[in-house]
Amino acid sequence: MTAYAGLDVGTTSSKAVVYDRDGRVLGSGRAPTTWETTADGTEMSAEALWRSASGALSAAAEDAGVAVAAVGVTCMGESGVLVDAREQPLAPVIAWHDDRDGEEVADLDATIGAEQFGGVAGKPLRGQFSLTKHRWLLRNAPATRDATTRFDVGGWVVRRLGGDAVIELSLAGRTGWLDVAAGDWWDAALQWSGARRELMPPLVSAGVPVGVVRSDVVSPLLSGAVLTLAGHDHQASALGARATSQGYELDSSGTAEALVRTITPIPSPADVARLALTGITTDPSVEPGHWSLLGGTEGGLAQLRTLQRLGADVAELDAAAAAEDGTGPGAEWRSVVATAADEALALHRAMDDVVGPAVRVVVTGGWRHSSEVMRAKRSRFGPLEVSSVEEAGALGAATLAARACGELDVDEHLGRS
């Protein structure tokens, strides 16, 4: 039996699943990605990130009990690891949603401006992307000035597993340093942030082999497995949910909610800038020759924080929201969910304006299990398809792993049609 592993290093946890050629789950593993709240903001050590990813991957392999032929790694975007010449981390990993870089964002606006940043980098000018946090680190963590390489999260994990030092294109797009239309680094953005081309590993496409597992930290069942980068987690989820065809839209309804459309060709520079001004990013796609539009919100994070603050589980709040009319936890939950759904709808309509209406919307992610979240979405979007795939990001990553080792063609998926 040939087995393929998909590893999804996300905001709240690392999830790994081992599949066979027919897409059947053979084993799974999970480990928390535990952030620390410091005086500066939200961060974790690069070693803690590696332990989370390697622990989940090893657990999945051991649970499957079979040798794994290939591993695909997908991850959250924007966060990164700066290392020295011995590849030792020089600073913590800053969370994508951390807001310590307010001064840097204001300076980026004054120096480059929202329209140019949006048109070239394909990003709204806000404090999410790597370049402003990189500039913050150079100002506030002097050791980072000696960095020789900057890895994204997936690249860091692949390197620790024994793979090549590379950066995948869709994740390069999440940095704010990439000229997305050219598929090359944007020198003006690098210079502004204090970065340089030499800091960046070679660019590669998703689904290409980038070495093999050589680490003795992970399960021996992974030894020699072909490694590939499976790109940004939301794009891998779209692939796993089979929502990458033209006109399809993925609603990845997790901690970091995102609407994703896979398109071709890339919109004009003016439309890329217009999308950015509405909060929609443009990136190279994990599907060869395609592009990805992504509208992200913190609605899922707001819902999670509300759960934590109210000390209730989703089912309890869903029931209360259906029963309560005015005040109380149910009404508060209904209001938070409605706000998140409104934010997602605005992004959905902005994409429609540029690339035409979506013909199919597929919902994945943990929040699809909430009756109140789905009620709010259906009342705004109309008919929705709820994916039956529990870990769409892991399945997308494993599909790219199977492509990387030659078991699937570029347009094939794990699992039966």
Hey, what domains does the chain have and what are their CATH numbers? 3-236+391-404 (3.30.420.40), 244-386 (3.30.420.40)
Q: How far is the C-alpha of 98 from the C-alpha of 362, rounded, in Å?
A: 29
Specify the pLDDT at position 326.
75
Mean pLDDT of 239-261: 94
What band does 254 get if pLDDT is binned at 50, 70 and 90? confident
- Give the position of tokens 């030092």: 165
- Other C-beta atoms closer than 10 Å to the C-beta of 50 total 22
Mean pLDDT (the chain) is 96
**Residue 347 parent element (H or E):** helix 329-355
**Higher pLDDT among residues 325 and 210, named by residue:** 210
Instruction: Give me the mean pLDDT over the 86-112 stretch.
Output: 97
- The Cα 80–Cα 175 span in angstroms is 9
Record the tokens describing residue 237, joined without a space: 């989820």
Identify the three-state secondary structure at position 70.
Answer: strand
Residue 39: which region, alpha, beta or left (left: phi > 0; alpha: psi -120 to 50)?
alpha
Instruction: Grade residue 327 by pLDDT with cuts at 50, 70 and 90.
Output: confident
What average pLDDT does this structure show over 105-127? 97
Cα–Cα distance for residue pair 173/268, rounded to 1 Å: 17
Cα(334)–Cα(62) distance, rounded to whole angstroms? 41
Q: Give me the pLDDT at residue 349, please.
A: 97
Q: According to the model, what pLDDT value does residue 417 have? A: 54
Percent of the chain exceeding pLDDT 90 equals: 95
Q: What pLDDT is recorded for position 416?
A: 64
pLDDT over 80 (residue 409): yes
Residue 171 makes CB contacts below 8 A (sequence gap 6+) with 75, 77, 152, 153, 154, 155, 229, 231, 232
Distances (CA, A) of 57 to 153, 156, 202, 222: 15, 14, 25, 9
What is the reported pTM? Answer: 0.94
Helix (H) or strand (E) holding 73: strand 70-75
